[in-house]
Structure 1
Amino acid sequence: MKILISVVSLFLFLLIPSVSHSSSGGSFSNTPRLPEPMVFDLVLPLGAQKNEYELNALFQHDFANDAVTMNPEFEYAYADGYGIEFELPMETTGVAAYKMALQGTFDFLNTNQFIHGWQYIGEYHQDAKKFENNLLYIFGYQFNQNWSLLNMLGSRLSDIRSKGHIEGLVNSNLFYSLSKNLLMGLETNWEFRPNRPDMMLVMPQLHVQIAQHAKVQFGFGVRKASREYFPHVASRVIFGF
């Protein structure tokens, strides 16, 4: 119970700046607009403007479990730099979980090359009857017109009603812009799980802008699960407005 109270208190502390900032009519127009990772998705890019929204879906072929998954989601910026996301992780048997995320952009220390913020993710898994809380710090840097990076560091707390697990989360991305409509990326996801095998995904990817409001991302990588390595294929279709 103490852990749960701590998580909720920290979440409310992070949410307060978004309310005060939106009321002052601030903007993040002078900060970099960095690409988003394909697999570990953000709630819109950091610094998104109020009323931006996005519909997208992630498709994955998990060779480790011989399963195909789909994650449709809706993202909306309710204030400058702050957004909310609703997601339905799905498997072949139907909806596997219910997921909600909140994200904020800090309004201090930002420059025209550096931007940072936070993300909270709550997810309820139907089959296991467990709830997960994820809290991450996000920071990114625009080196020049072509090169940029985005990183996330955080933790996951699950099974808070019984024997809880705490996991470390790391997401690291390096992007290279080939042109206005074509981007290359290398995404690495690492889940550090004490007393259990770590999980890792390395995913080279391409982001292609196919129309003004439509983008397709796809990649082929390697996933480590239970001390074994498996191929992993993913694609995301995005409609942003």
Structure 2
Amino acid sequence: MVGAVPAAARDTTDYPHIPEPMVFDMVRPMGARRGELETNVLALSPLSGQERAVEWAPEIEYAVADGFALEIELPFEGTRLAELKMGAQATIGTFDRGRAVHGVQYLGIYERESGRTSQALLYMLGRRHNERLSTMTMVGVGDVRLGQSESDAGLLVNHSTFYDLGRDRIAGVEVNYKSHRDGGVAIIPQFHAPLADKVNVQLGVGADKQRGERARPVGGVRLIKEF
């Protein structure tokens, strides 16, 4: 259930509930218990311009141990499988009397067309400010290509602010920034809601500004099934 347990009732084994961002999602929520399983698929598309290729990515996430989860993701561009992606996420623990939780996330990416591999490593900090308001911030380095001269490592920042509307419905805004040569910034207001038992949807419409290009509207949807 969405919401917060009163801080006074928490101990060091409890984790605050922090929603997951729609675009730069997590490998299960931090503090996930062993055996938790999720499948989801994200689809993103520009809403203007002549080229409107849909980018979509099915993935599966599994907590192999308490606080440690793995994922496999298959990013497509239209009908073409563009990348193979693997992720791992570890929860470090809680602090601030159980209101904050932090951890780390690793991503490994293989680009099928070029044959290149790259990595990203991020520190994650989530905080439940009150019963309604929470935030999730991820900061790290991405596009690291070990042993390759064309490496274009740069800063990755993703910050999301969420507001609990009640009955498992959440409004939020996600800001994603990449400092790479082909990076940019995207701002995606979004809405999360349940569709059925253990089935949820995230919908978002915002703006995407890539380096050297004009800002353009973008829309997205993520469907999530938990087991």
TM-score (norm 1): 0.83
Q: Deviations over 1:92-123 (max 9, x none)?
A: 23211000000000036464210000000001
> Do the aligned partners of 2:141 and 2:156 also contact (CA within 8 Å) in 1?
yes
Q: Identify if the C-alpha distance between structure 1 residues 106 and 59 changes in structure 2 by more than 3 Å, giving closer, same or farther.
A: same
Residue 202 of structure 2 aligns to which amino acid in structure 1? Q
Structure 1 residue matching 2:28: 3-state secondary structure: coil
Q: Deviations over 1:116-163 (max 9, x none)?
A: 000000011111221110000000110111000000000013443232
Q: CA deviation at 1:61?
A: 0.6
- 1:202 aligned onto 2:202: no
Residue 34 of structure 1 aligns to which amino acid in structure 2? I
Equivalent residue number for residue 7 of structure 2: none
Q: Deviations over 1:22-67 (max 9, x none)?
A: xxxxx97512021000000100001111111100000111357521
- Structure 1 residues 2-13: aligned runs within 5 Å: none
- Structure 1 residues 179-198: aligned runs within 5 Å: 179-193=166-180, 196=181, 198=183
Equivalent residue number for residue 8 of structure 2: none
Equivalent residue number for residue 5 of structure 2: none
Which structure shows the bigger proportion of residues in helix conformation? Answer: 1
- 1:59 aligned onto 2:59: no
Q: Which moved more, 1:49-58 or 1:196-205?
A: 196-205
- 1:220 aligned onto 2:205: yes
Q: Deviations over 1:58-81 (max 9, x none)?
A: 011135752101100000001111
Equivalent residue number for residue 15 of structure 2: 31
Equivalent residue number for residue 6 of structure 2: none
Q: Which moved more, 1:54-63 or 1:170-179?
A: 54-63
Count of residues in correspondence between the two structures: 213
Q: Which moved more, 1:85-94 or 1:37-46?
A: 85-94
Equivalent residue number for residue 44 of structure 1: 28
Q: Identify if the C-alpha distance between structure 1 residues 29 and 179 changes in structure 2 by more than 3 Å, giving closer, same or farther.
A: farther
Residue 54 of structure 1 aligns to which amino acid in structure 2? E
- 1:173 aligned onto 2:157: no
Higher relative CO (Cα under 8 Å, sequence separation at least 6) belongs to 2
Structure 2: unaligned runs, 5 residues or longer: 1-10
Q: Which moved more, 1:223-232 or 1:156-165?
A: 156-165
- Structure 1 residues 47-126: aligned runs within 5 Å: 47-63=31-47, 65-107=51-93, 109=95, 111-126=97-112
**Alpha-carbon RMSD:** 1.8
Equivalent residue number for residue 226 of structure 2: 240
> Do the aligned partners of 1:33 and 1:47 also contact (CA within 8 Å) in 2?
no
TM-score (norm 2): 0.88
> Do the aligned partners of 2:145 and 2:153 also contact (CA within 8 Å) in 1?
no
Residue 42 of structure 2 aligns to which amino acid in structure 1? L
Which of the numbers 139, 145, 152 marks the counterpart of 2:125?
139
Structure 1: unaligned runs, 5 residues or longer: 1-26
Equivalents in 2 of 1:112, 1:180: separation in Å? 23
> Do the aligned partners of 1:97 and 1:123 also contact (CA within 8 Å) in 2?
yes
Q: Deviations over 1:8-35 (max 9, x none)?
A: xxxxxxxxxxxxxxxxxxx975120210
Identity rate of aligned residues, in percent? Answer: 35
Equivalents in 1 of 2:215, 2:127: separation in Å? 31
